[in-house]
Chain A
Amino acid sequence: GAVVSQHPSRVICKSGTSVKIECRSLDFQATTMFWYRQFPKQSLMLMATSNEGSKATYEQGVEKDKFLINHASLTLSTLTVTSAHPEDSSFYICSARDGTAQETQYFGPGTRLLVL
């Protein structure tokens, strides 16, 4: 099946620093990628939708200047958490939509962010 990878899998950073998370589709072209945030024992909350070559669409309540998303190629999207604070600590998960498989989204393994 289709594979989506994320890097890094875990990251610890100091408050005020920026962290970049990569999401790659390994064996298919992803015209659309999604970024989710999941707090412990909670559901996945969509943060933004990223289309290759265009600006991301953010969900209500998500700060676009704080969570920078870049989708420069059909296989790579990046999420940068700028000036991270402890409340940004969470599990960040990306998904990629295979353009040939309609609604099927393949999820990455997630990135655990801990901001000290």
Chain B
Amino acid sequence: QQQVKQSPQSLIVQKGGISIINCAYENTAFDYFPWYQQFPGKGPALLIAIRPDVSEKKEGRFTISFNKSAKQFSLHIMDSQPGDSATYFCAASMGSSASKIIFGSGTRLSIRP
């Protein structure tokens, strides 16, 4: 059972455009939703995270939109740059110090110059 569904699988965006990646979850016990960025041959790095008590969180060019009733959340990358080309993973976990993170399937983002 795939607990966190992510789409699209791949995405091509022109430089300066907006990149949008969507995720949906099933388990209503999840209460922490991080996004990770991974470059080839590297480990994932935390990009931004949100809790379900807010509907939006913005950090620089990156924004998470969260819809608790629909059990969906998305990542928006504004003014996308070639350096943003990477694989992005959404994830979810239940809030405790011992909880594990469930990853989405990933989105390969390419920003065309």
Contacts from A to B (Cβ < 8 Å): 4, 6, 31-32, 34, 41-46, 49, 51, 91, 93, 95, 97, 99, 102-110, 112
The verdict on B8 contacting chain A, using a C-beta distance below 8 Å, is no
B103 in contact with A43 (CB, 8 Å)? yes
B41 in contact with A110 (CB, 8 Å)? yes
A97 in contact with B97 (CB, 8 Å)? yes
CB distance from B75 to the nearest CB of A (A): 15
Contacts A103-B97, A107-B43 known; list 8 others, CB within 8 Å.
Answer: A42-B106, A46-B100, A46-B102, A95-B101, A97-B97, A103-B49, A103-B93, A105-B46
Q: List 29 A-B contacts (CB under 8 A).
A: A4-B43, A31-B97, A34-B101, A41-B108, A42-B105, A43-B89, A43-B104, A43-B106, A44-B89, A44-B103, A49-B98, A49-B100, A51-B98, A91-B41, A93-B43, A93-B44, A95-B43, A95-B101, A97-B97, A102-B95, A102-B97, A103-B32, A103-B49, A103-B93, A103-B95, A105-B46, A106-B46, A107-B36, A110-B43
B97 in contact with A32 (CB, 8 Å)? yes
Contacts from B to A (Cβ < 8 Å): 32, 34, 36, 41-46, 49, 89, 93, 95, 97-106, 108
List of A residues within 8 angstroms of B45 by Cβ: 107
Q: In the complex, which of the residues B34, B43, B89, B99 contacts A109, with contact meaning CB atoms closer than 8 Å?
A: B43
